[in-house]
Structure 1
Amino acid sequence: MTAFRIDRTTPLAAGEAWRRLTDWPAHADQVPLTTISVSTPGPTRVGTVFVARSALGAVGFDDPMEVVLWEPPVAGAPGRCRLEKRGTVMVGWAEIRVRAEGTGSSVSWEEDLSPRRLPRSFGPLTARTGQLVFGRAVDRLLRD
């Protein structure tokens, strides 16, 4: 498994930051060569399943994920969402945390992922790539 973490602060209120970070289809606009389809009816909750399809032409793979923890932020309490990757190519988990700070909020995106067919020696490269790709996505999703 390869772990990485992204921490950001934003002037957005915690509820708005949460809404943007958990708008699964919006992630596809931020991650190159990726589309996202939600398989279960909304709203998002424990049991929601969605699939990120990464492809270049006909070559690609599906990355199915399931929401296993869903605690939106409320007054005085931070929000947490945990996703489990259930694919044949990628396994692992991601956890999103949003906490109110003054009139804005702080965000943490932590992920532990593992491409099934990639040797462990590629872990540092996988972590750095994940940090760059998901850091860019988080920045864009939180942009005013």
Structure 2
Amino acid sequence: MVLFRFARETSLPAAEAWHRLTTWERHGEAVPLTRVTVRTPPPTRVGTVFVARSALGPVGFDDPMEVVGWHPPEAASPGRCRLEKRGSFVTGWAEFEVRPSSVGGATVLWQEELTVRRLPRLFDRVLAFAARRMFGRVVDRLTATAPPST
């Protein structure tokens, strides 16, 4: 099990950064070899379930997640979302907060506890480094100031 945290700044308003981070299907565009499918009807709320399927050809795994905390940003108040990872291969939770920045734009704070089953603890540092880097890049890509690709 690893716990990692990071923060990112974006020039996007907090509401737009929140929207981009919580459009779950777009995470598949930012994570290599991954497709995200939302299993519950919109809008996102507590109880929303989605699955990230990571695969190379026929070899892959599903990473099902459920929204267990949902507080979109309002005016100057930060937004918070908590996900529980409920897979047979990857478990844990992820939580992020999007808050307006005092200099304009928004700050994204991300923390995650991640367990990859059958991966020896010897690899925890490598897993933490790789996960922090990968999820940091996902947040960077999703909150880039250019309009999202369609």
Superposition TM-score, scaled by structure 2 size = 0.94
For these two proteins, the number of residue pairs brought into alignment is 144
Superposition TM-score, scaled by structure 1 size = 0.97
Show the counterpart of 2:110.
109
Matches of 2:110 and 2:23 in 1, distance apart? 14
How far apart are residue 26 of structure 1 and its match? 0.3
Give the 4+ runs in structure 1 shifted more than 2 A.
none
For residue 125 of structure 1, give the secondary structure of its aligned residue in structure 2.
Answer: helix
Give deviations 1:69-99, integer Å, cap 9, x for gaps: 0000101211100000000000000001000
Matches of 1:108 and 1:47 in 2, distance apart? 22
Show the counterpart of 1:53.
53
1:62 is aligned to 2:62: yes
Matches of 1:109 and 1:44 in 2, distance apart? 19
Show the counterpart of 2:143.
142
For residue 134 of structure 2, give the secondary structure of its aligned residue in structure 1.
Answer: helix
Show the counterpart of 2:79.
79
Show the counterpart of 2:148.
none
Show the counterpart of 2:29.
29
Show the counterpart of 1:133.
134
How far apart are residue 101 of structure 1 and its match? 1.4
RMSD of aligned alpha carbons: 0.8
Show the counterpart of 2:98.
98
Matches of 1:108 and 1:101 in 2, distance apart? 12
Matches of 2:54 and 2:5 in 1, distance apart? 21
Matches of 1:135 and 1:76 in 2, distance apart? 24
How far apart are residue 32 of structure 1 and its match? 0.3
Which structure 1 residue ranges, 5 or more long, are not aligned?
none
Matches of 1:115 and 1:125 in 2, distance apart? 12
Show the counterpart of 2:41.
41
How far apart are residue 5 of structure 1 and its match? 1.2
Which structure 2 residue ranges, 5 or more long, are not aligned?
146-150
Indicate the percent of aligned positions where both proteins have the same amino acid. 60
